[in-house]
Structure 1
Amino acid sequence: MLSATDRRRRILDAAEALFTAKGYGDTSMDDIARACGMSKKTLYAVFADKATLFSSLIADNEAFPILAYEGGKTVADTRAALTDVLTGLVDFILMPRQVSMTRLAICETLHAPELSQQFFTAALDRGESYLRDALTRVFPAWNARTIQPLLPIMVGAALGGLQLRALVEPGKLPDRRTRRRNIATCVAMVWPLLSQPPGAAD
C-alpha cells in the first residue's frame, strides 16, 4: 500500500508527463487517474482540481544547489566563486525538467494565463533569491538592495540565448563547453564591478 507521500509523488509524476506530452488544457483528471493507476476519488482526495495539481508541480520544482558560502566566511578567490554561482544558476535553468516545465508554461499562456504567470513569478523569484543570496555572501560589500539592479543583467549574460535554444530545440541542450563560455564572458564583464564596493567606480 502506498504511503501518502508516495501517492502524491506518483500523481505529480503522472501529471507532469501528461501535461508535457498533451498540454495542460488537453489533459483531464481522468487521464491522470488512469496514468497513475488510481481512482478519481483517490486523486481528488489528494488534489482538489487540476489547477491545484499544476500549482503543486510548480512548488515541487527542484531547489537550486546549495553553495558553501556561509555568511561572514571569507571567500579567497571571488572570481572562482562568482563562476560557481553562475554555473549553478545556468545548470539549474537548463535542467531537462526545468526546460520542460518552462516550455509547458509558455504553451499554456493563452489557455491558463494565471497558471503560467504563477510559474514564471515563482521561477523569477527563486532564481533572483539564489543569485542575490549567493553573491552577497561572496561579495559582502554588496547588499540585497545594491546588487538587485545587476541580477537581470547577469542572468541574461550568463544564459546568452541558451535557454531560448533549449526551449525551441527539444532534446538539444547546450553542451558544457558552450555553457562555460557564456559564464566566462559574464564573469569577465561583472567581476571587476563586484570586486569593489558599490559606487567606487563613480
Structure 2
Amino acid sequence: MGFLGTARRAASAAREGLDALQTSRAQAARVAAPVTAGPDAGDDERVRRGRALGAPDPRELLTAEDAAAIAGTAVGGPRLAAGDDAIGVTYAAAAPDGSRWAVEASAFHAGPGAADWSAARHWDGFLAPLLADEGRPVPGLGDAAIARDGEVYVLAGAHLLRTAVTLPADADAGDPTDGAIEAARRAVARLR
C-alpha cells in the first residue's frame, strides 16, 4: 500500500476518533445533575400564611422520589415558592448543555382581600373557562382536572392544585403533560 492508502487510513482513524470524542462530550453535556436550592428568604413565612388560609404544605404533596420517578433522573430540592395566592415546591435537575428537568406542585389559597375564596368558585369562575380552549379533561383525577402543555390544574375537594413538568425535548422520560398528570395523581392521593 502506498502513501495515499496510508494517508486515507490515518484520516479515517482520526475522523473516527474525533467522532467518538464528540459523541462522548455530547453525552457528558447531557448528564443531569440535581439542582440544590437553599431556602428563599421569607418562603417559610409565606408557606405558614398559605397554610393558615387553607392550602396544604406543598412539601407534603410531592417528594423528591416522586419527582425523580416522573422526571426520569435524580433531582434536587425541594425549593419553595410562594406568592399572594399559591404556595408551591419545585424539584429540579440541569445538565451542562442547558437541558432542564423540573417537577412542580402548587396549592392555591385565598389571596389578599379574598375572604370568601373557595377552590370550587375559583375553578368554576376562573380556571375552567380559561383552560377549556387549550386543555383536555383528565377523567378520574380529583373532582375535575384539566391538562395542557406540561401542566395540570386539579380541583380536589376544598383544594385547588397545579402540577407542572419540564423535560428536555428528547428526554426519555416522555411527555411533560403525562408527567404532570402523574404528579397530580400523587399529590391528590396525599391530600386524603
Instruction: Give the TM-score of the pair, scaled to structure 2.
Output: 0.27
User: Highest CA radius of gyration, 1 or 2?
Assistant: 2
Normalised TM-score (structure 1): 0.26
